Amino acid sequence: MPPCKLALKLQVRPTRPGGIFPVSPVGLKQSKNRSESGLLAPVVSAESGDSRVWKCLYRFLTDRGAQAHHEKDKLRMNDKTNEDAVLHLGDQKISLPVYVGTEGEKAIDISSLRKESGFVTLDPGYVNTGSTLSSVCFIDGEEGILRYRGYPIEQLALNSNFVETSYLLIHGDLPNPEQYETFRTNLRFHSMIHEDMRHFYDGFPSSAHPMAILSAMVMGLSTFYTDIEDPENDDNMDLTICRLLSKVRTLAAFSFKKSIGQPFIYPDNSLSYCGNFMHMMFRVPAEPYHVDPEVERALNLLLILHADHEQNCSTSTVRMVGSSLTNLYACISAGISALWGSRHGGANQAVLEQLSMIHENGQDVEAFMEQVKDKESPTRLMGFGHRVYKNYDPRAKIIKEACDRLLDHLGVEDPLLDVARRLEEIALNDNYFIDRNLYPNVDFYSGIMYRAIGIPTNMFTVMFALGRLPGWIAHWLEQRNNPKDRIQRPRQIYTGEQIREYPQ
């Protein structure tokens, strides 16, 4: 890495707003650093968009013992508190540093535990384990709070669109008008896929699940765009990101057309991001098609609500795969596979199937709920419960209202909505659900909206993937730009056979 000569300003907030300390990141001189300021969780900011400068600054600070967290053009310092956690293991006393995040979340740093004691920690399902420092998304599951880069989800849902929210997640701040225009133009420009990729679809059976096709096709992109990404070259990286965001939308629409035997519809770059997607999904060559602005608005909203959710299963998969330094396309393809399962993004399809099953069989809703609560039965109420939310999922609240609006606008009366409302009403008043803090999650009402828009059930999880894409990218970038990133490689506690002789 070439030496950086740029002078940077170290700004400490929020405890001391406006405190600006000149810092030279390559060790020439340092007039004041974090340990002198004695403050928790300051943020370093500067006018440089050159990620090499940040890497230099990161090294400069961490070499001096600071705990810092580097992003593309920001550097956040996460501070050790004065309190240590003390672990007693027999006669041994081990002090473990305690860290706090910007929202007061506390963590015990066990990174030296094995070295000092020979012990590892055991936490199946990572219920208590923070895998990373991250500044992309904040969730308070007890209070039902979700924020992207500090902005409440309710405000983004009301005022933003999916393109702007994607920029926010990926770049860390809302775009100014010029940045927005450039980003939007790039997304438009890269909407087509290589013509040879179109022929890949001929090889899939028409019964293929669109998630399988999407995962395979995204991996296929890496064979066409071999210039891929170069972490040291921001332009190349931006190009890869825009290609991915734009082309995944085309790949998703083509997989739908394949599944219903209709010809592919090429993108129309005069349309908006969501409008263009609807055009590729619903237009047929023989008929004109007009994008309904209300539906386009609803689609924007759904994608915004799905855009990120910190270290969930698919995002952790993207980070895990990315930690081996494989390319972005491969990581996203893995993320799509992780999302597919019914405990995660696949739940939106499962909810619709469950509601349809109850409705079509004329099943008694109360009896169905008894089955859900029965520990001997494998049935769960799909679209309910969440690892993090122990309160109403804020996304579900927004979707429920939007669902009523959309159905009103389209004049749709969906009997499945009545079934869903009845299930929710029973659950919210039932001790089984109350005791376990089980509330509707993002998937409970989203399927009814997708159905009203005309999206078939087996495409629901593809819609989730389309929405989650900017979040995956933001996390992948955050990790890739962190000079202290290491391969993710958990330990285990072996419980198998002890050594035995191979029979002669």
Q: State the catalytic residues.
A: 386, 443
Looking at 380, 390, 409, 422, which residue binds ligand CMC (CB under 6 A)? Answer: 380
Give the nearest distance from C-beta 444 to ligand CMC in angstroms.
Answer: 7
Amino acid sitting at position 166? S
Give the position of tokens 């049935």.
379
442 binds ligand CMC (CB under 6 A): yes
C-alpha to C-alpha distance for 472 and 328, rounded to whole angstroms: 10
345 binds ligand CMC (CB under 6 A): yes
Give the nearest distance from C-beta 387 to ligand CMC in angstroms.
Answer: 4
For ligand CMC, the closer of residues 46 and 463 by Cβ is 463
Q: Are 190 and 247 in contact (CB under 8 A)?
A: yes
Name the segment binding ligand CMC (CB under 6 A); options: 111-119, 279-287, 316-324, 385-393. 385-393
Give the nearest distance from C-beta 351 to ligand CMC in angstroms.
Answer: 7
215 binds ligand CMC (CB under 6 A): no
Cis peptide bond upstream of 456, omega within 30: no
C-alpha to C-alpha distance for 114 and 288, rounded to whole angstroms: 65
Q: Phi/psi at 426 (nearest 5 deg)?
A: -65, -45
Which 87-126 residues touch ligand CMC, going by CB under 6 A? 125
Give the nearest distance from C-beta 277 to ligand CMC in angstroms.
Answer: 21
Q: Phi/psi at 12 (nearest 5 deg)?
A: -105, 125
Query: Quick one: which H or E segment has residue 95?
Result: strand 92-100
Nearest to 43 by CA among 4, 78, 6: 78
Nearest to 141 by CA among 425, 499, 387: 387
Q: Which residues, other chains included, contact 135 with Cβ-Cβ below 8 Å and sequence gap of 6+?
A: 69, 71, 74, 76, 102, 149, 172, 478
- CB neighbour burial string for 394-433, b if at least 16 within 10 angstroms, e if fewer: bbbbbbbebbeebbeebeeebebbebbeebbebbeeeeeb
Looking at 384, 445, 450, 476, which residue binds ligand CMC (CB under 6 A)? Answer: 384
Amino acid sitting at position 29? K
382 binds ligand CMC (CB under 6 A): yes
Amino acid sitting at position 289? Y
Looking at 72, 76, 309, 397, which residue binds ligand CMC (CB under 6 A)? Answer: 309
Looking at 80, 359, 387, 405, which residue binds ligand CMC (CB under 6 A)? Answer: 387
Give the nearest distance from C-beta 371 to ligand CMC in angstroms.
Answer: 10
Name the segment binding ligand CMC (CB under 6 A); options: 1-9, 408-416, 434-442, 475-483. 434-442
Closest residue to ligand CMC: CB criterion: 385
Looking at 245, 336, 347, 469, which residue binds ligand CMC (CB under 6 A)? Answer: 347
**Helix 415-428 and helix 443-453, axial crossing angle in degrees, nearest 10:** 170
Which 119-158 residues touch ligand CMC, going by CB under 6 A? 125
C-alpha to C-alpha distance for 152 and 343, rounded to whole angstroms: 25
441 binds ligand CMC (CB under 6 A): yes
For ligand CMC, the closer of residues 380 and 405 by Cβ is 380
For ligand CMC, the closer of residues 248 and 381 by Cβ is 381
343 binds ligand CMC (CB under 6 A): yes
Nearest to 9 by CA among 72, 66, 64, 54: 54
Q: How many residues bind ligand CMC (CB under 6 A)?
A: 21
161 binds ligand CMC (CB under 6 A): no
Looking at 4, 251, 278, 381, which residue binds ligand CMC (CB under 6 A)? Answer: 381
315 binds ligand CMC (CB under 6 A): no
436 binds ligand CMC (CB under 6 A): yes
For ligand CMC, the closer of residues 332 and 381 by Cβ is 381
Cα-Cα-Cα-Cα dihedral sign, residues 316, 55, 174, 43 = positive
Give the nearest distance from C-beta 491 to ligand CMC in angstroms.
Answer: 21
C-alpha to C-alpha distance for 192 and 215, rounded to whole angstroms: 18
Looking at 438, 452, 465, 474, which residue binds ligand CMC (CB under 6 A)? Answer: 438
Which positions lie near ligand CMC, rule CB under 6 A? 125, 309, 312, 343-345, 347, 372, 380-387, 436, 438, 441-443
